[in-house]
Chains A and B, each alone.
Chain A
Amino acid sequence: MKASEEQLRTLMVGGLDGNAADHAELLRTLAPLLRSFFRRRALGSDQDVEDLVQETLIAVHMRRGTYNRDRPFTAWLFAIARYKMIDHFRRVRHLIPIEGLEETLAGESFIDASDARMDVESLLEALPAKQAAAIRATRLEGRSVAETAAAAGLGESDVKVSVHRGLKTLIARVRRKPR
């Protein structure tokens, strides 16, 4: 079941007004939503995903006072979910795989309404041109290191180092600015 922003918001506001049934239904609706949100981001074991779902539900419950009734509910929800995920990565010192990173940054169409969207292209622009080109070719366009090196007239190790440094910078940047 895919709940709409409007439905979720109504349940949330009901809960804020003290309606326990609305609040319970909200949390029950959110659980599968969050489960797929975290699962899609390749978090490892099902247990990790379930832990994150529970932590996020607890945060939604404990910190529901921070929801502003005049603003989109899903933007608020996924800001919390994303924070919990980044906190989780920080704890387990897990590197975010680049396939997941793109999605994490771009968010999903669901949250387009929120201001949480960040473009991989705009992130890449912040990197030195050589690193950005190497990442674009090997990670986004799916070329091999050898092809990329030949096309750019560089050594293979040079390309590998560029990709590695660029990704490191991006990950540091994304962690510093969880959004």
Chain B
Amino acid sequence: MTTTDQLIDQLARDVPPVPRNAVGRRLAGGLIGGALASVLLLILWLGIRPDLGTAMHGSAFWMKWSYALALALIAIGATARLARPEGDGLRWLWLAAIPMLLLAGHGIMDMARAPQALWLSMWLGHSWLVCPWRVLVLSVPIFLGLLWSFRRLAPTRLREGGAAAGLASGAFAAMVYCLHCPETAAIFVLTWYSLGMLLAALAGALLGPRLLRW
């Protein structure tokens, strides 16, 4: 009994005020740190595409980037919910179907306009073999950043929390990868970018129960 009382006295000695949206701030901190590290990794490893300035005037760049951004926001929303002990599950992730369907519509329209002989090369691009893996590698620093955030958060569904954090890392990593990737077809992005994010989500689901324990 005494030890519990001593513990309480000790804990009550250090009571800094906590801002209202502490969970959001903590996640944003880990995310920004991780994203900066991921950009640095991209620059050192693959380099930024030389024509980035021109590409940013075209629609393909923003199509890829906003697809990844939409998924990133949905995934980080789910992560924030799962970061609270009474948080509900992955129900919100169904929202991810919206950007995917929009991009699929975009891809189908592109294909309808192109001759059938080009379809395969649109789908595979020049980098389908490496794209998902690069997204996965770039997601690692972001996932580490989120793990740092989770040290003060309280997830109780560790597998789901890990999956949501993994998906968020993958989607933000895809946004980083846009700075390098020259592919332009919507159907390429829909397949290979999404596969990279899915790999990151799976890794998160596998690691969650071990890494998010507290």
Contact B17 A68 (CB under 8 A): no
Interface flags, A82-102, vs B, CB<8A=1, else 0: 110001000000000000000
A142 to chain B, nearest CB (A): 33
Alpha-carbon gap, A24 to B8, bound state (A)? 7
Closest residue to B23 on the A side, CB-wise? A66
Closest residue to B11 on the A side, CB-wise? A61
Whether A141 sits at the interface, judged by CB under 8 Å, is no
B152 surroundings in chain A (CB, below 8 A): 62-63, 65-66
Could you tell me which A residues sit within 8 Å of B by CB distance? 15-21, 23-24, 27-28, 31, 50, 53-54, 57-59, 61-69, 71, 75-76, 79-80, 82-83, 87, 114-116, 176-179
B23, B83, B84, B86: the one within 8 Å of A116 (CB): B86
Whether B105 sits at the interface, judged by CB under 8 Å, is no
Could you tell me which B residues sit within 8 Å of A by CB distance? 1, 3-5, 7-9, 11-13, 15-18, 20, 22-23, 26, 83-86, 88, 152-154, 156-157, 159, 213-214
Interface SS of chain B: loop
- CB within 8 Å for A24 and B9 given contacts A79-B85, A79-B86: yes
A41 to chain B, nearest CB (A): 17
The 7 closest A-B pairs by CB, nearest first: A65-B22, A18-B17, A24-B12, A79-B85, A79-B86, A20-B15, A63-B154
Alpha-carbon gap, A94 to B213, bound state (A)? 18
A178 surroundings in chain B (CB, below 8 A): 156-157
B5 surroundings in chain A (CB, below 8 A): 28, 31
Contact B7 A71 (CB under 8 A): no
